[in-house]
Chain A
Amino acid sequence: MNESVPVNTSDNIRARHPMAEAFEMFMGNYAAVAALIVLILIILAAIFGPMLYPTDPFEMVWAPFSPPGAEGFLLGTDYLGRDMLAGLLTGARVSLAIGLAAAFMSVFIGITIGALAGFYRGWIEEILMRITEFFQVLPTLLFSMVIVALFGASLPIITFAIGIVSWTAVARITRSEFMRIRELEYVTASRSTGASNAKLIFSVILPNALPPIIVQAALMVGSAILFEAGLSFLGLSDPNVVSWGQIIGSNRQYILDASFTVTIPGVAIFVTVLAISLVGDGLNDALNPRLRRR
């Protein structure tokens, strides 16, 4: 193309930071960027919405089943005449907060179990993987229902009930990454310099095992939101807070009178989880370029 041969100045040969490369790749994925923007808007709405729109979601403000737009209620009212928009904004906080907290818990358990199993192998791995398999045969939703039923429907219990059943995928991914990485030369090298097991696990192997775990963690937030919605749809939610699934569950009997009371919160859940999974896909392409073949 060009007659001039590129000169190897120090600027040219300096490798670019891998994070910069990943960032560029993510920004090239338009669906993921659009999803990220939607997600940021949803988070902003959850944080600032209830302040800017201070209607109490529990208060009866107008006749039940007013359609969207009527009497200044942008999204109408539900079966008790409560403002749907207020419920949706307040519910966003609960749904997102439980989603994040439960995903954090399951990622923490998953990394701990997967890392120990993949690093130590042998009987430790055998026991931990049997425990993982045990959690895989328990039907997740039923197990959480039982926990919430026995220990009470409060936000910490619900978060725990979701987190304790969702960690198996993270554990499996972490384990296989640890099994792969622990055989690599740089691990052997730092072992030979006298690094302790804890150092090997936390500062040598774990940082390199993180990319696929991060992607899985992003997806976990989405499935935790779905999970919480399912539980509260069944009526197993904290009675003192509003969440998206709970709005659907309590209006379910009245779909003949006003289907929008069920449709609208469902769309909110759908759009949020869709945005999270598109961002997750984008992260996957950006962080694990080796896996990008098909």
Chain B
Amino acid sequence: MEFLRILIRRVGYAAILLLAVIVLNFIMVHLAPGDIADTIAGDMGGATEEVMAEIREDYGLDKPMLVQLGSYVGGVLQGDLGHSYFFNQPVTKLIAERLPATLLLVISAQLLALIIGTLLGVISARKPNGITSHFVSLLALFGYSAPVFWTGIMLLITFSLLIPIFPVAGMVDVTLEGGFWTRFWDIAHHLVLPTITLASIFLALYSRLCRASMMEVLGSDYIRTARAKGLSESQIVLKHALKNSLSPVITLAGLQFSAVVSGAVLVETVFSWPGLGSLALQSILARDTPTILGILFFSALVVIVGNLLTDLALRLIDPRIRNQS
């Protein structure tokens, strides 16, 4: 019951954050120089003042600010993010087409970073001065310092051009025909380099934290008890220690969601991955404001839902924080 109450509170809080994103979008559009009428008039090659006034009336721009804000928020809540002038489609539909690709990239990069990061963290916690430890420290410096788009281009040059084992761009091979599994392996094949590139930013971060928390847990009393019971080292590390040292790593991974989504924009551009990031770039270059704002809204939604799921997952696996608000 306590858990249910916390769940409702967290969801409510997430909803308020989303509402704030919508309001921020609205404020930014109205602060920016020029409005829809200017854009449309520009596309038409100029318009008289009367036509401009007519367009403004059509779009409700002559109404008071608060009324406009109300109808904008109402529209977004009903899934209406406006119409894209550039793609000539509803923004919601455009985003719905692109969102799965971004989700696939973000989730697979997070999973890869978490799994490999934890693995390296555990190995280096067992031998704090071993070669894996030094490797992880180097990797951390690299992950922090190298621009992610540059890492991507370097991987692309190496593994698509010099040694052509991975495709250069895109998510699917359009010439390929076949059933579900053929397509599945095709997408997986295209996914490898973008996922590694995006994971390279966070991998070492997770593994350093995992190492630190693992070393702390390995020094605690219950681990000494487990050793005294005569359990094997692998049982102690994998079964007893790992579970407790994972909580901080998962917390950090949850906090990184906004950075992962940001990194995805760059990675998608490098690999022509058909996700929200490349849509964002296209619509920015085309000055397509409704689409840009719709993407900001949806990516914030991805981050908020990601945070929420992390929070709930932590509560489920860690009884110590289960009923904390």
| A interface residue numbers (CB < 8 A to B) | 133-134, 136-143, 145-152, 222, 226, 229-230, 233-236, 245, 248, 252, 255-256, 259, 262-263, 266, 269-270, 273-274, 277-278, 294
Check B153 for interface membership: any CB of A closer than 8 A: yes
User: B212: which A residues are within 8 A, CB to CB?
Assistant: 294
Contacts A234-B281, A255-B157, A262-B150: A146 and B145 contacting too (C-beta < 8 A)? no
Bound Cα distance from A274 to B141, whole angstroms: 7
22 contacting pairs across A/B (C-beta < 8 A): A137-B17, A137-B307, A138-B303, A139-B296, A140-B262, A146-B293, A229-B147, A233-B149, A233-B266, A234-B281, A235-B285, A236-B284, A245-B147, A245-B149, A248-B147, A266-B146, A266-B150, A266-B153, A273-B144, A274-B141, A277-B141, A277-B144
| Chain B 284-311 per-residue mask, 1 if CB under 8 angstroms from chain A, else 0 | 1101010011011001101110010000
Do residues A139 and B266 form an inter-chain contact, with CB atoms below 8 A? no
User: B146: which A residues are within 8 A, CB to CB?
Assistant: 266, 269-270, 273
Q: List the B residue with the shortest CB-CB distance to A135.
A: B258
B residues 13-71 touching A (CB-CB < 8 Å) = 17, 20-21, 24, 28-29, 31-33
Do residues B28 and A138 form an inter-chain contact, with CB atoms below 8 A? no
Do residues A142 and B32 form an inter-chain contact, with CB atoms below 8 A? no
User: B307: which A residues are within 8 A, CB to CB?
Assistant: 137
Check B73 for interface membership: any CB of A closer than 8 A: no
| Chain B 205-220 per-residue mask, 1 if CB under 8 angstroms from chain A, else 0 | 0000000100100000
Bound Cα distance from A152 to B259, whole angstroms: 24
Bound Cα distance from A141 to B289, whole angstroms: 16
Bound Cα distance from A150 to B33, whole angstroms: 8
Check B161 for interface membership: any CB of A closer than 8 A: yes
Contacts A137-B307, A248-B153, A262-B153: A146 and B258 contacting too (C-beta < 8 A)? no
Partner of B149, one of A142, A149, A248, A256: A248
Do residues B299 and A270 form an inter-chain contact, with CB atoms below 8 A? no
Q: List the A residue with the shortest CB-CB distance to B285.
A: A235
Q: Min CB distance, A52 to chain B, in Å?
A: 27
Bound Cα distance from A234 to B295, whole angstroms: 16
Q: Min CB distance, B287 to chain A, in Å?
A: 7
Check B191 for interface membership: any CB of A closer than 8 A: no
User: A259: which B residues are within 8 A, CB to CB?
Assistant: 157
Q: List the B residue with the shortest CB-CB distance to A151.
A: B32
Number of residues on chain B facing chain A (CB within 8 A): 51
Check B171 for interface membership: any CB of A closer than 8 A: no
Contacts A142-B299, A255-B157, A256-B161: A226 and B147 contacting too (C-beta < 8 A)? yes
Q: List the A residue with the shortest CB-CB distance to B281.
A: A234
Bound Cα distance from A75 to B24, whole angstroms: 45
Q: Min CB distance, A45 to chain B, in Å?
A: 18
User: B150: which A residues are within 8 A, CB to CB?
Assistant: 229, 248, 262, 266, 269-270
Q: Min CB distance, B216 to chain A, in Å?
A: 9
Bound Cα distance from A90 to B259, whole angstroms: 29
Partner of B296, one of A142, A229, A234, A235: A142
Do residues B147 and A141 form an inter-chain contact, with CB atoms below 8 A? no
User: A150: which B residues are within 8 A, CB to CB?
Assistant: 28-29, 31-32, 289, 292
Q: Min CB distance, A223 to chain B, in Å?
A: 8
Bound Cα distance from A136 to B293, whole angstroms: 17
Do residues A139 and B161 form an inter-chain contact, with CB atoms below 8 A? no
Check B261 for interface membership: any CB of A closer than 8 A: yes
Do residues B32 and A222 form an inter-chain contact, with CB atoms below 8 A? no
User: A226: which B residues are within 8 A, CB to CB?
Assistant: 145, 147
Partner of B287, one of A149, A255, A294: A149
Q: Min CB distance, A84 to chain B, in Å?
A: 15
Q: List the A residue with the shortest CB-CB distance to B128.
A: A294
Bound Cα distance from A266 to B293, whole angstroms: 30
B residues 123-153 touching A (CB-CB < 8 Å) = 141, 144-150, 153
